[in-house]
Chains A and B, each alone.
Chain A
Amino acid sequence: AQKVTQAQTEISVVEKEDVTLDCVYETRDTTYYLFWYKQPPSGELVFLIRRNSFDEQNEISGRYSWNFQKSTSSFNFTITASQVVDSAVYFCALSEEAAGNKLTFGGGTRVLVKP
């Protein structure tokens, strides 16, 4: 069965600090997708990134970067030089081809960036 663990329930940082969100997943499938979503206070989830299991290249998008390591089943997310607008709940998610690609979400990590 697929499972996603976000061990950090809440992280508090001061503006301009870097923050790394951990995501560890479990899957028996060789073909799967990993996602990160952001949920701001307004409630809707916003897609940040999708990575398939065959693409281990790390990715950088502005102040966001992702580190995918199959050897440790992790897909960590780093926000560099955090800003108050980064305050939100962040979800890691997994979908397996064998499970019909249904998304399984982690419990989320609440990030609070203080000015």
Chain B
Amino acid sequence: DGGITQSPKYLFRKEGQNVTLSCEQNLNHDAMYWYRQDPGQGLRLIYYSQIVNDFQKGDIAEGYSVSREKKESFPLTVTSAQKNPTAFYLCASSRETGLSGELFFGEGSRLTVL
């Protein structure tokens, strides 16, 4: 079945450690996105990529990094510079490269910093 796979589903990290969240899609979509979800705040855009080897900062990119070496993959690294990394992270993709397209989401990764 086509879709977006995020791993791990749950992740615990000690302060000061970097952690990488995986996002893979087999929908053949050009555009991919990372969102952060905090209770009561909706989703906020971290980074997005409209094509391989290119990505753009979203609204809250500080403390995060991404890469887009393959069309199918868009991993997100939460670095030690991110002040409050405990959150639910959602990866998405869209067939349209403009951001007004319908987004397809993964099931998310919940990161907890101990």
Contacts and interface: CB of A to CB of B under 8 A. Distances in A.
A112 B43 CA distance: 20
B42 A47 contact: no
Interface stretch (B62-70, B76-84, B105-113): B105-113
A91 B42 contact: yes
Given A33-B100, A44-B106, A45-B105, A102 B43 contact: no
Chain A's interface size range is 20 to 34
Interface of B: 4, 40-45, 48, 58-59, 88, 90, 92, 98-100, 102-108
B108 A95 contact: no
B103 A45 contact: yes
Given A102-B58, A107-B40, A47 B100 contact: no
A106 B42 contact: yes
A100 interface: yes
Contacts of A4: 42
Interface in A66-115: 91, 93, 95, 97, 100-103, 105-108
